[in-house]
């Protein structure tokens, strides 16, 4: 196989193409859902609008001020900050020996803890409760604490790290909070329950809680979609070129084989013709081919060594010697003078 390299590249490229295409499809879906999502004001018209749509809008956009229902929570690391969602992360920074033997910096999440208190997005006296805010795909929160502590490594740790391929550099603790009073955009499923409205994760597209406006969000997803489409086109072109190269190589090899076969046939034919011309017209019965008993013996079967066939019969008999029945490995033209 002289196209193994191309086949391996093609395999990798098709895999990347598949991943890019899936990502592109997702981005396209989200982008379309966002464009189609109505932007609704949090006022008296909202409940009417929901009632008209069968108490539910699958994907809608609202904007309002984060307001806790009840008491807000206090940030753990800076208690003066209050909010409604909180995420604490403990990350280990380390250098690890990578695939090619190089040391590269890595960040590994060691621990994550999340907390939430019920909250709503309010505008005036009215508000929409946000359910399951932590599951939002884009969740813009403020980092209220960020501390990095370098590790002090002993000589043993260094030696151990060299052999194990992982060396710790330090630990980073961060705390993020969605503060009460911040003005955000929420995108998700809107549902009317009695007189109250809530926003929750949708089945159409992911939920977002972001400081960006709807237009900015749409633009962001459009840009991501277009850059992914570009990757799909590049990967697709590479695949097409590789397929072309492989096909060309296969065609060339087949063509060579056909030409070789043609040449071989031509040579056999001309030898046969020369034989026919050179055949003595008069020869004894012992000199005749054992199969057709007409032409002279002209071919030797190997390894048994029996000269028993004429050229014409030798083309038909391929397996066993007609005299001793032993297996024919090869045949050669024999010239008896
Ligand atoms: Zn014969
Ligand atoms: Zn034989």
DSSP 131-193: PSGGG-SEE--EEEEEEEEE----HHHHHHHHHHTEEEEEEEEEEEEEETT-EEEEEEEEEEE
Same domain membership, residue 157 and residue 111: yes
DSSP string, 6-70: HHHHHHHHHHHHHHHHHHHHHHHHHHHHHHHSPEE-SSHHHHHHHHHTTTEEEEEEEEEEEEESS
Ligand 1 centroid to Cα of residue 244, in Å, is 48
Q: For tokens 């193409």, what's the residue?
A: 17
User: Which ligand is nearest the CA of 303, by number?
Assistant: 2
Ligand 2 centroid to Cα of residue 216, in Å, is 88
47 in Cβ contact with 128 (< 8 Å): no
* For the chain, percent of residues with pLDDT exceeding 90: 61
Same domain membership, residue 194 and residue 65: yes
How many domains are contained in the chain?
3
pLDDT band per the 50, 70, 90 thresholds, residue 280: low
Ligand 1 centroid to Cα of residue 303, in Å, is 20
Question: CA-to-CA distance for 105 and 307, rounded, in angstroms?
Answer: 77
User: Which ligand is nearest the CA of 299, by number?
Assistant: 1
10 in Cβ contact with 246 (< 8 Å): yes
Task: Check residue 79 and report its DSSP letter.
Answer: T
Same domain membership, residue 235 and residue 158: no
pLDDT digit string (tens) for 212-236?
999 999 999 999 999 999 999 999 9
User: Which ligand is nearest the CA of 311, by number?
Assistant: 1
Ligand 1 centroid to Cα of residue 270, in Å, is 18
Same domain membership, residue 57 and residue 110: yes
Ligand 2 centroid to Cα of residue 274, in Å, is 26
pLDDT digit string (tens) for 84-131?
999 999 999 988 887 777 888 889 999 999 999 999 999 888 889 999
pLDDT at 22 over 90: yes
Question: CA-to-CA distance for 27 and 210, rounded, in angstroms?
Answer: 17
Ligand 2 centroid to Cα of residue 261, in Å, is 28
User: Which ligand is nearest the CA of 312, by number?
Assistant: 1
What confidence score (pLDDT) does residue 110 get?
A: 92
Residues with CB under 5 A from ligand 1 (ion): 289, 291-292, 295, 310, 313
3 vs 58, residue with greater confidence: 58
Ligand 1 centroid to Cα of residue 335, in Å, is 15
Domain boundary among 169, 185, 212: 212
Residue 62, token pair as written in the block: 């609202």
Same domain membership, residue 116 and residue 64: yes
Backbone angles phi, psi at 314, to 5 degrees: -60, -25
Ligand 1 centroid to Cα of residue 297, in Å, is 7
Same domain membership, residue 73 and residue 18: no
Q: Which residues pair with 191 in a beta bridge?
A: 56, 198
Same domain membership, residue 142 and residue 46: yes
DSSP string, 280-313: -S---GGGB-TTTSSSBP-EEEETT--EEE-HHH
Ligand 2 centroid to Cα of residue 315, in Å, is 16
Same domain membership, residue 117 and residue 204: yes
Question: CA-to-CA distance for 95 and 103, rounded, in angstroms?
Answer: 6
Of 131, 35, 154, which Cα lies nearest the Cα of 85?
131
Q: Specify the pTM.
A: 0.69
Question: CA-to-CA distance for 175 and 183, rounded, in angstroms?
Answer: 20
User: Which ligand is nearest the CA of 317, by number?
Assistant: 1
- Collapse the DSSP code of 275 into the 3-class scheme (helix H, G, I; strand E, B; otherwise coil) and give the result: helix
pLDDT at 10 over 80: yes
Ligand 1 centroid to Cα of residue 319, in Å, is 15
Same domain membership, residue 183 and residue 124: yes
Ligand 2 centroid to Cα of residue 303, in Å, is 8
Residue 36, token pair as written in the block: 């189609």
Question: Mean pLDDT over all residues of the chain?
Answer: 90
Domain boundary among 245, 263, 280: 280
User: Which ligand is nearest the CA of 275, by number?
Assistant: 1
Residue 139 burial (10 A CB sphere; 0-12, 13-18, 19+): middle
Ligand 2 centroid to Cα of residue 291, in Å, is 13
Same domain membership, residue 293 and residue 153: no
Ligand 1 centroid to Cα of residue 283, in Å, is 14
86 vs 336, residue with greater confidence: 86
User: Which ligand is nearest the CA of 294, by number?
Assistant: 1
Q: What residues make up the domain containing 190?
A: 40-212
Question: Across residues 68-79, what is the average pLDDT?
Answer: 90
CATH of the domain at 310: 3.30.40.10
* For the chain, percent of residues with pLDDT exceeding 70: 98
pLDDT at 250 over 70: yes
Backbone angles phi, psi at 18, to 5 degrees: -60, -45
pLDDT band per the 50, 70, 90 thresholds, residue 334: confident
249 in Cβ contact with 7 (< 8 Å): no
Same domain membership, residue 231 and residue 163: no
57 in Cβ contact with 201 (< 8 Å): no
158 vs 69, residue with greater confidence: 69
What confidence score (pLDDT) does residue 171 get?
A: 92
Ligand 1 centroid to Cα of residue 296, in Å, is 7
Same domain membership, residue 146 and residue 65: yes
Question: CA-to-CA distance for 165 and 207, rounded, in angstroms?
Answer: 39
pLDDT at 1 over 70: no
Question: Across residues 234-250, what is the average pLDDT?
Answer: 94
């Amino acid at each position: 196989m002289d196209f193994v390299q191309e086949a391996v590249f093609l395999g990798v490229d098709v895999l990347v193409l598949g991943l890019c295409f899936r990502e592109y499809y997702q981005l396209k879906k989200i982008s379309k859902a966002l464009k189609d999502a109505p932007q609704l004001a949090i006022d008296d018209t909202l409940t009417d609008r929901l009632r008209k749509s069968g108490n539910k809008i699958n994907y809608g956009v609202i904007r309002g001020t984060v307001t806790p229902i009840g008491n807000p929570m206090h940030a753990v690391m800076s208690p003066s900050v209050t909010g409604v969602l909180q995420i604490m992360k403990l990350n280990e920074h380390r250098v690890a020996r990578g695939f090619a033997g190089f040391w590269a910096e890595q960040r590994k999440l060691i621990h994550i803890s999340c907390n939430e208190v019920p909250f709503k997005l309010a505008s005036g006296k009215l508000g929409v409760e946000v359910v399951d805010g932590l599951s939002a795909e884009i969740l813009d929160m403020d980092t209220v604490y960020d501390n990095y502590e370098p590790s002090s490594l002993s000589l043993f740790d260094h030696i151990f790290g060299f052999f194990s391929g992982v060396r710790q550099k330090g630990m980073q603790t961060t705390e993020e909070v969605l503060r009460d009073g911040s003005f955000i955009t929420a995108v998700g499923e809107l549902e009317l329950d009695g007189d109250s409205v809530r926003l929750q994760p949708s089945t159409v597209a992911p939920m977002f809680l972001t400081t960006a406006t709807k237009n900015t969000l749409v633009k962001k997803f459009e840009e991501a979609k277009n850059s992914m489409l570009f990757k799909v086109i590049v990967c697709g072109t590479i695949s097409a070129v590789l397929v072309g190269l492989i096909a060309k190589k296969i065609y060339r090899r087949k063509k060579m084989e056909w030409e070789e076969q043609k040449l071989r046939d031509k040579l056999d034919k001309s030898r046969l013709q020369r034989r026919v011309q050179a055949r003595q017209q008069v020869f004894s019965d012992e000199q005749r081919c054992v199969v057709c008993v007409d032409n002279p013996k002209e071919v030797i079967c190997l390894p048994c060594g029996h000269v028993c066939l004429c050229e014409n019969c030798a083309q038909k008999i391929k397996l066993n010697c007609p005299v001793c029945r032993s297996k024919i490995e090869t045949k050669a033209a024999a010239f008896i003078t």
